[in-house]
Every structure is written in C-alpha cells, then in structure tokens.
Amino acid sequence: MIDRPIVKVHLWSGLRAFTGGQEVVEVQAQTVGEVISGLVAAHPGLADIVESGVSVAVDGKVIASALNEPVRPENEIWLMQRLKGG
C-alpha cells in the first residue's frame, strides 16, 4: 500500500450536511482523482453529488477534468459545484 499524504479539502456550504457539518475534511491523496475518491469513501453521502459533477480548485486553479493533477498537503483545495452554462 502506498503511503499517501493527508490533504485538507474545503467544502462549499451545501456539502457540509454530508460531512457532519465539517467545512474542512482530510483525505489521503496525491492527485485530484484521489481527493474525489477519498471524499466519497469517507463520506458516502457525497457520491450522488460527485457523480453529477463537481470541480476541484487547487490554489485557485480550477481542475475540471484532470484527475491526475498532483496535490500536496500545502495546497489549498476546494471541492466546488460545477457551474453549467447555457
């Protein structure tokens, strides 16, 4: 098993009901994809929301689909609702 660093993930207010009210949760992850899968594993109530589409911002840069983008403990990471235009 690979030892992954722990990163802190900030959640928008609508997701906090699925994490016991926590604004910031910790997961073990080295990539954006691992952040997302780690969040769902730790908080299964997030699964439907994640499947419907979310974005991850790392240090202010929105990572919409690059799941292999690396993350580190010193990064500021946000899980955000994906905005849909039309």
Return the structure tokens found at 60. Answer: 């202010």
Structural domain includes residue 55: yes
The count of domains in the chain is 1
Q: Output phi, psi for 59, to 5 deg.
A: 50, 40
Q: Output phi, psi for 36, to 5 deg.
A: -65, -50
| pLDDT tens-place string over residues 57-80 | 999 999 877 899 999 999 999 998
Structural domain includes residue 86: no
Return the structure tokens found at 3. Answer: 């030892």
Cα Rg, the chain, nearest whole Å: 12
CATH of the domain at 51: 3.10.20.30
pTM of this prediction exceeds 0.75? yes
